[in-house]
Amino acid sequence: MSDPVRRERAPISPCVGICLMDPATRLCRGCLRRVEEIAAWYEASVAEKHEILARIAERKAAAGGKR
């Protein structure tokens, strides 16, 4: 018998293996996350991970999609 509550799958980490913090923006140049977002990722709920991904999308849009 299957579980009647469908669990939402957690999104994969946005890490691209280029871990270099930009001192001016305080963002990782690879994934555009703040240090706090990187540190919180593994303990974050599915909803919190989606919020982080939404902020990354906003940062990419603000940068003209250049990442």
Cα of 19 vs its chain's centroid, Å: 13
Q: Which residue has the higher pLDDT, 20 or 3?
A: 20
Tell me the per-residue pLDDT of 18-29, one tens digit each, with 9 for 90 and over.
Answer: 999 999 999 999
Tell me the per-residue pLDDT of 49-65, one tens digit each, with 9 for 90 and over.
Answer: 999 999 999 999 998 86
8: confidence class by pLDDT, cuts 50, 70, 90:
confident
**Cβ atoms of 33 and 56 closer than 8 Å:** yes
1: confidence class by pLDDT, cuts 50, 70, 90:
very low
pTM of the model: 0.81
Cα(36)–Cα(39) distance, integer angstroms: 5
Cα(23)–Cα(29) distance, integer angstroms: 10
